[in-house]
A and B are shown apart, each in its own frame.
Chain A
Amino acid sequence: MPPVLQLRGITKRFPGVLANDHIDLELEQGQVLALLGENGAGKSTLMNILYGLYHPDEGEIYVRGEKADIQGPSDAIKLGIGMVHQHFMLVPVLTVTENVMLGMESIRNGIVLDRAKAARRIRDISDQYGLEVDPEATVEDLPVGIQQRVEIIKLLYRNADILILDEPTAVLTPQEVMGLIAVIRSLVAQGKSVVFISHKLKEVLELSDRIVVLRRGRSVGATTPAESDERSLASMMVGRDVILEVPKGPANPGDVVLDVRDLVVKGDQNKVAVSGVSFQVRGGEIVGVAGVQGNGQTELIEALTGLRAVESGRVELGGRDVANASPRSITEDGTAHVPEDRQRDGLVLGYSVADNLILNTYYLAPIAKGLAMQEAAITDRADRLIKEYDVRTPTPLTPAGNLSGGNQQKVIVARELSRPVKLTIASQPTRGLDVGSIEYIHSQLVKKRDEGAAVIVVSAELDEVMALADRILVMYEGRIMGALDAAAATKESLGMLMAGVATE
């Protein structure tokens, strides 16, 4: 029997970039194929070609042994290929059934939507694969993990039997990841085939039957979980040996730098997002804030940095109350902030790297003398920081938007950590970055700690928090569910706290 899916010599060029370079790929029926690679390695391009969103410059696609010409997603769907994107494409205010029906509504008597019939089929699919989704639920009320299953049901409803999952675990809690893995196992057990895109080594090893590693648009190796381990996969991805643990000595906590007491902050919907949080951060220690996204971490950090109003409570930075102080005064007080959404908050994408490196010091000497900005000083600083922080950019005048995610983040890290600071706040500092950049950013944060700064790291990635932090706070629904010593924390204990289950 031929492989259910075969790619031969797929090549895709973008102006100046060879995104895919003669990539070969085979997927057997009933198997999970993991596509592993750093950001920008060409995984998404390859899958978008398969899904018909891009057209390859060279190469052929065979589905069930027959050559396929995929001009668009509708061709892909006809061939039984379905894709779950990283960002869900659901209408929040509609029910599960309505979302699944969207685009292929069942009709009764010519004009009436036959919701009942669709709901029946959704229930059947849900039962068959153990998805546990209620067809009548409204999507916006569902947790992210279940919303993802709705996306999977959408594919199954359209009779897809080759499922492409693009970084499906990026948004899930550890418990939800377990659930997803069970679902994928059940899918392949019943004959479906899955392509699983990820850069997380553990999941790939746990779940897949075969692993293909991409690097810079090339396929650099195919292997199986039995023949590989995290270390070997990481070096294949990066092209050199990688240190997986963050190398750091014991913490040397000094004086309290940040003292937060009974902090209350409201979120965008005017609902209380942070309800009475108290904690301290000392100089020379890294405090990790763990938690599923949307449990008040964002609002907490925005309040600490002056970007969001504090309803009540105290925020003392080096002895001064900075609750509701302006962002500028908090910055000038010695706070560095690597924001959660680097493209939205941390950079002006149309600005050059050099201009982005002065985003919050543009008015200070030597960058500005009075009203006039000093071109030479800007260039000097850019040259120095680009070198010191290893920002890979063609020139200092290249727009930041043209850099890869990792290098964009390095621009921000360079700008923030090159200032003398007593408090460093990093929100999701390595989200979506490749192993090499993660390694680098982690080492910079540890360096800042060892220089005596207080460091707060907020991350949705448990591995990151555990590797980096000296102490860990877990947030759940706007409260701190627990504070653990990093040495004593386990994935399980953190996972329980993240799910709101208090431990003794």
Chain B
Amino acid sequence: MDDKTVASAIANAVQQPKSGAPTPKGQHRRGGWLRQLLVPLLAIITALILGALVIAFTDESVFQAFGGGFGRGVGQAFSVIGRAYGAFFSGAFGNPVRIISALISGQGAQIRRAIYPLMETLRISTPYIFAGLAVALGFQGGVFNIGAEGQYFIAGLVTVFVGYAIKGLPAIVHLPLALLAGVVGGGLWGAIPGYLKAKTGAHEVINTIMLNYIAFRLAEFMLDANGLMARGDGRPVSPEIQPSAYLPQFFPNQVELRVNVGFFLALAAAALVWWLLYKTTLGYEIRTVGANPRAARYAGMSVARTIVITMALSGALAGLSASTDILGVLHYMPNAFSSGYGFDAIALALLGKSHPFGVVLASLLFGALRAGAQNMQGIAQVPVDLTSIVQGLIIVFIAAPEIIRKLYRLRQPVEGEELVTVRGWGGA
């Protein structure tokens, strides 16, 4: 009885505004960028505050200080948190004072050192952007691509092969070819579960997970010390790629600044995905199939074809995340390649509300978190794993925005503004 009445209450509450009287003018205007960003921003701040508590309560010196009185304990806690987050922020963005004074001094070496953290953040963001776009595109098309990690591996194998095996090509041919190899490899690996879903109804979540394992083991097999793609010096890594396949660095000849043109490619990919989704007939099909497959069918769209295309495009984007990493930073492929980009990508798509520009912002954040965490561990001896906690908390708050709204007493959003990112398991 109670469950039923609750269910009907929810159903009524959900339906009510729809069946209500016509809405007054302007009521449902899209709520501005600031309002869209409010919940994510508060989620990040809240997660950082909770992260600070974790730092304080896992630090022995804080407990000792509390032994000497409450005030001293609190003081010590703040100093520990301050040190950790100070290191964190300077690791992620650099020290503003140092950057400015370096710029004023005009000395190349000094400038490079000052902007190193910021550049490292951009470097780490690059594969995140591609992978996040991959999952976001899938969400828009109603498919849940958990296989970005597997597509990343396959694309990595293909890219690195084209990168080292083909010799004597000019960079203008070799580099695009190596990138294209990643696009095709990742795209095909993504298209497989798309095709299975479209033709047999097999759920893409299951199939992408399974294809992930296949991809992992395939990479292990190929890159094993005696594998087909091993370097041959007993290490489980691929040969170095040809310099003609390198993605150009921002700062040529500066080995420590690893940021490269891949970052611009990632931004271009975000713009392209945005254009595709919102300005083209294919994007209209993808979004319609994602939002309401029945209406898509009614409108004469081929739902099956659209799902395959969506998964292929998603896989291609995930593939580029590996290609740019290999061609721009690593220049070879190690066996233990797993970076978790493909899985973090799901979080990025959620955080970015499946919008390409949202994904870019989320990726920059994750890049900063990773870059900052390295520095924090080095200077304040706070383990890198704290970032995982902070990342996890951010995702929880984004996935359950009610927590943030309750916490900060925000108004309910007007109905229809919230983007439903994923339909449940059985959806379509």
Give A residues with C-beta under 8 Å from B: 14-19, 39-42, 44-45, 48, 53-54, 72-74, 85, 89, 102-104, 216-217, 305, 307, 326-328, 331-332, 337, 339, 344-351, 355, 359-360, 362-363, 368, 371-373, 375, 392-395, 397-399, 401-405, 407
Interface flag for B234 (CB, 8 Å): no
Q: B291: CB under 8 A from chain A?
A: yes
Among A89, A332, A360, A398, point to the contact of B8 (Cβ < 8 A). Answer: A89
27 CB contacts below 8 A, A to B, read: A16-B27, A41-B21, A53-B12, A54-B12, A72-B5, A102-B1, A328-B301, A331-B300, A337-B298, A344-B292, A346-B295, A347-B295, A348-B288, A348-B291, A348-B295, A349-B292, A349-B416, A359-B288, A362-B299, A371-B280, A372-B280, A394-B24, A394-B28, A398-B23, A401-B18, A402-B23, A404-B21
B406 CB–A CB distance under 8 Å: no
CB neighbors of A among B1-25 (8 A):
1-2, 4-5, 8-9, 12-13, 16-25
Bound: A375/B26 CA distance, A = 21
Is chain A's binding surface mostly helix, strand, loop or mixed? Answer: loop
Whether A394 pairs with B298 at a CB distance below 8 angstroms is no
- A residues within 8 A CB of B8? 53, 85, 89
Inter-chain contacts of B21 with A (CB < 8 A):
17-19, 40-42, 216-217, 404
Given contact pairs A39-B19, A74-B2, A363-B281, A16 touches B300 in the complex (Cβ within 8 A): no
Is A45 a contact of B28 with CB atoms below 8 Å? no
Q: Is B29 an interface residue (CB 8 A)?
A: yes
Residue of B nearest to A369 (CB): B281
A17 to chain B minimum Cβ distance, whole angstroms, is: 4
Chain A proximity of B377: nearest CB distance (Å): 43
In the complex, what distance in Å separates the CA atom of A351 from the CA atom of B284? 10
CB of A371 within 8 A of CB of B282, answer: yes
- Whether B17 contacts A372 by the Cβ 8 Å rule is no
Taking the complex as formed, is B60 at the interface, i.e. its CB lies under 8 A from any CB of chain A? no
Instruction: Beyond the given A103-B2, A348-B295, please list 15 additional residue pairs across the A-B interface where CB-CB is below 8 A.
Output: A18-B21, A40-B22, A48-B12, A53-B5, A72-B5, A102-B1, A102-B4, A305-B298, A326-B300, A344-B294, A351-B288, A360-B300, A372-B280, A399-B416, A404-B21
The 3 A-B pairs with the shortest beta carbon distances in the complex, nearest first, are: A103-B1, A328-B300, A73-B5
Most A C-beta atoms less than 10 A away, residue of B23, B27, B299: B299
A326 CA to B281 CA, complexed, in Å = 19
Contacts of A399 on B, CB cut-off 8 Å? 28, 416
Q: Does B98 contact A (CB under 8 A)?
A: no
Q: How far is the CA of A373 from the CA of B287 in the complex (A)?
A: 14
User: In whole angstroms, what is the CA distance A368 to B21 when docked?
Assistant: 34
Other-chain contact of A339, B9, B17, B298 (Cβ < 8 Å): B298
| Contact of A401 with B280 in the complex, beta carbons under 8 Å | no
A42 vs B17: C-alpha distance when bound (angstroms):
11
A63 to B410, CA, bound (A): 37
A372 to B22, CA, bound (A): 33
| Minimum CB–CB distance for B22 against chain A, Å | 5
In B272-326, the 8 Å CB interface with A consists of 279-282, 284-285, 287-288, 291-292, 294-295, 297-301
Query: How far is B414's CA from A402's CA once the two chains are assembled, in angstroms?
Result: 10
Q: Which residues of B contact A346 (CB under 8 A)?
A: 295, 298
Q: Which of A15, A326, A373 contacts B27, CB < 8 Å?
A: A15
Q: Does B167 contact A (CB under 8 A)?
A: no
Q: Are A19 and B20 in contact (CB under 8 A)?
A: yes
CB of B30 closer than 8 Å to a CB of A: yes
**Do the beta carbons of A350 and B291 come within 8 Å of each other?**
yes
- Closest partner residue, chain B, to A19 (CB atom): B20
Q: Which residues of A contact B403 (CB under 8 A)?
A: none
| Chain B hits for A392, CB < 8 A | 22
Q: Which of B17, B279, B288 contacts A14 (CB 8 A)?
A: B17
How far does the Cβ of A168 sit from chain B's closest Cβ, in whole Å? Answer: 16
CA distance A348 to B284 in the complex (A): 11
A301 to chain B, nearest CB (A): 11
User: Which residues of chain A are within 8 angstroms of B12 by Cβ–Cβ distance?
Assistant: 44, 48, 53-54
Query: Which residue of chain B has its CB nearest to the CB of A215?
Result: B21
Residues in B whose Cβ lies below 8 Å from that of A347: 292, 295
CB-CB under 8 A from B284, the residues of chain A are: 355, 362, 373
With contact pairs A15-B17, A362-B284, A403-B22 given, residues A395 and B29 touching in the complex (Cβ less than 8 Å): yes
Q: Which residue of A lies closest to B416 (CB)?
A: A399
B202 in the interface, Cβ–Cβ < 8 Å?
Answer: no
Bound: A18/B18 CA distance, A: 13
Q: B412 within 8 Å of A by Cβ? A: yes
Whether B50 is near chain A, meaning CB under 8 Å from some CB there, is no
Q: Which of A345, A368, A373, A403 contacts B295 (CB 8 A)?
A: A345
What distance in Å separates the Cβ of B419 from its nearest Cβ neighbour in chain A?
8
Q: Assuming the A-B contacts A45-B16, A398-B28, are A16 and B23 also in contact, with contact meaning beta carbons closer than 8 angstroms in the complex?
A: yes
A327 with B22, Cβ < 8 A, contacts A373-B281, A402-B28 known? no
Residue pair A404, B295 in contact (C-beta under 8 Å): no
> Are B19 and A401 in contact (CB-based, < 8 A)?
no
For B233, what are the chain A residues with a Cβ–Cβ distance below 8 Å? none
Alpha-carbon gap, A74 to B5, bound state (A): 9
User: Contact: A44 with B19, CB < 8 Å?
Assistant: yes
Neighbouring B residues of A395 by C-beta, 8 Å: 25-26, 29
Partner of B25, one of A217, A349, A394, A407: A394
When C-beta atoms are compared, the residue in chain B nearest to A404 turns out to be: B22
Q: Counting CB contacts under 8 A, is B420 at the interface?
A: yes
Residues of B within 8 Å of A331, CB to CB, are 300
Shortest beta-carbon distance from A70 to chain B in Å: 12
